[in-house]
Amino acid sequence: MAFKLVSPAPHLARASRPFLQCLRRAAPTAQRRYISAYGYEQAKALTFTAYGEPPDVLKLHSHSISPPHGNLMTLRFLASPINPADINQIQGVYPSKPTFTTELGTKDRTAVAGNEGVAEIIALGEQVKQQGFKKGDWVIMKGPGFGTWRTHASATPEQVVLLEEGMREGITAVQAGTVSVNPCTAYRMLTAFTELKEGEWFIQNGANSGVGRAAIQLGKRWGYKSINVIRHREDQAAEEKLKKELKDIGADVVISDAELQSQGIQDRANEWTNGGREPIRLALNCVNGKAATAMAKVLASESHFVTYGAMSKQPLTIPASMLIFKDIHFHGFWVSKWSAQNPEEKKVAVKDVLELTRKGQFKDTPFDQIKWEWETKEEELIAKVKDTLEGYREGKGVFLFGKT
Ligand SMILES: NC(=O)c1ccc[n+]([C@@H]2O[C@H](COP(=O)([O-])OP(=O)(O)OC[C@H]3O[C@@H](n4cnc5c(N)ncnc54)[C@H](OP(=O)(O)O)[C@@H]3O)[C@@H](O)[C@H]2O)c1
């Protein structure tokens, strides 16, 4: 990367010592963040130097960012989610690798965790201004690997996508910071593999995930009906509550994976689909294992089965008959690859989802908002990341940056 981050800035340290000392005297607590002097920004980032389990390898690293010049801008993050892919990336099992660098002033080469988020431009170089960016603009990341679990960052225009004023209007930071991965994945999978007609069905597992909830809502808007599979809960009341929650956002049918694998499921599917006259033509799978195979069994002949995740860590097993006699088409989808190859289509998807959100026609996934203030301690942030490794969660973790 072209930018230089220094920690601490040697000439700043010399030139501004009296100024900083004065600030220090005024600061009520030792934790207080010093106001940036001469355009230097004080930043903190959740970083890792080696792959491993997040609680074992993540560290909160402080550094400073030099004033932006030329084609550089300084970003202040507003919201960054904790997605399953972020965890896989830290574990070293995600195909998109982060950049390990010493540019944040670390002794060892270090990467910043997190792939998705929204940030505000707080300072920018001349060339960035000439490209139409200005202070106060909101940007989202163009692709994975940027490192979004941090208070501030230096970026070039090529690394970000501007959320124009019209797109941003009435949208919260959490909504903007979570629009580009899960909703866009659902958007694309519902439209790219087959052309569902109004009244036709799709079936999906992981239906209460961010992607699943987005698929339910987008599908509803576009006239598709959905069968939604969630994991069985031992607590019956909790399972019923979740089923109702998904129905409230537009799910036609919600069943557990146990129900999907029980005898008589084909008869139930026939009942839902008017005796099969409204075919189930598409399946979206982020789980794998037996429950995914069971989902493929209720598909109509020549349907499409799209795998985009592997939450159960099980392989996907496909009986040969599904290929030979039913001619089911099996696909994979990765939003990062699609976005890199189709940036304009991605922008349209983002715009459409934000438009629906603004109109109240697209509801947020339930979030566990994790406040990240300048004083927030390393152990608090890492504990929250660790929480997301557990299943059966009520809300998806998202860092919401306060006074940083
Ligand atoms: N290919 C792509 O481009 C792409 C893009 C976005 C997301 N994804 C993938 O889509 C999936 C969902 O992502 P998200 O961000 O929407 O998820 P999320 O909101 O964080 O929700 C996690 C989901 O995974 C389920 N789950 C957790 N552990 C599980 C297990 N052991 N077996 C079965 N299900 C389990 C959860 O169900 P419970 O409530 O029952 O725990 C929940 O439905 C992930 O696999 C992610 O990697 C892929």
Is the pLDDT score of 5 beyond 50?
no
pLDDT at position 39 is 73
Eight-class DSSP state of 39: T
What letters, b where the CB count within 10 A reaches 16 and e where it falls short, cover 126-146? ebbeeeebeeebbbbbbbbbb
Q: Which atom of ligand 1 is nearest to the CA of 308?
A: 1
Ligand 1 proximity of 391 Cβ (cutoff 6 Å): yes
Q: Which atom of ligand 1 is nearest to the CA of 393?
A: 39
For ligand 1, atom 29, the nearest C-alpha belongs to: 311
CATH 3.90.180.10 residue spans of the chain: 10-178+366-401
- Residue 128 vs residue 22, higher pLDDT: 128
Ligand 1 proximity of 312 Cβ (cutoff 6 Å): yes
Q: Which of 311, 331, 385 is the pocket-test mutation for ligand 1 (most atoms within 8 Å of CB)?
A: 311
**Residue 309 CA, ligand 1 centroid: distance in Å:** 7
Is 94 tagged catalytic?
yes
Burial class (CB in 10 A: 0-12, 13-18, 19+), 355: middle
pLDDT at position 36 is 60
**Residue 166 CA, ligand 1 centroid: distance in Å:** 31
240-260 pLDDT tens trace: 999 999 999 999 999 999 999
Ligand 1 proximity of 136 Cβ (cutoff 6 Å): no
CATH superfamily of 10-178+366-401: Medium-chain alcohol dehydrogenases, catalytic domain (3.90.180.10)
End-to-end, the C-alpha distance of the chain in Å comes to 24
**Residue 15 CA, ligand 1 centroid: distance in Å:** 50
| Chain centroid to CA 375 | 25
353-389 pLDDT tens trace: 999 999 999 999 999 999 999 999 999 999 999 998 8
19-49 pLDDT tens trace: 333 333 334 444 455 556 677 999 999 999 9
Say which CATH architecture domain 182-337 belongs to. Answer: 3-Layer(aba) Sandwich (3.40)
In one-letter notation, the amino acid at residue 401 is: F
CATH 3.40.50.720 residue spans of the chain: 182-337
Q: What is the pTM of this model?
A: 0.92
Element (H, E) at 138: strand 138-141
Is the pLDDT score of 307 beyond 50?
yes
**Residue 287 CA, ligand 1 centroid: distance in Å:** 7
Mean pLDDT of the chain, nearest integer: 92
Query: How far are the Cα atoms of 22, 31, 47 from residue 83, in angstroms, in the given order?
Result: 42, 29, 16
53-66 pLDDT tens trace: 999 999 999 999 99
Q: Which atom of ligand 1 is nearest to the CA of 185?
A: 5
Ligand 1 proximity of 334 Cβ (cutoff 6 Å): yes
Residue 16 banded pLDDT, cuts 50, 70, 90: very low
Ligand 1 proximity of 346 Cβ (cutoff 6 Å): no
Q: Which of 190, 211, 293, 338 is the pocket-test mutation for ligand 1 (most atoms within 8 Å of CB)?
A: 211
Residue 115 banded pLDDT, cuts 50, 70, 90: very high
pLDDT at position 30 is 44
Strand order in the sheet with 225-230: 253-256, 225-230, 201-204, 280-285, 304-307, 329-332
Ligand 1 proximity of 325 Cβ (cutoff 6 Å): no
Q: Which of 38, 51, 94, 392 is catalytic?
A: 94
Residues of the chain with pLDDT > 90, as a percent, come to: 89
Ligand 1 proximity of 286 Cβ (cutoff 6 Å): yes
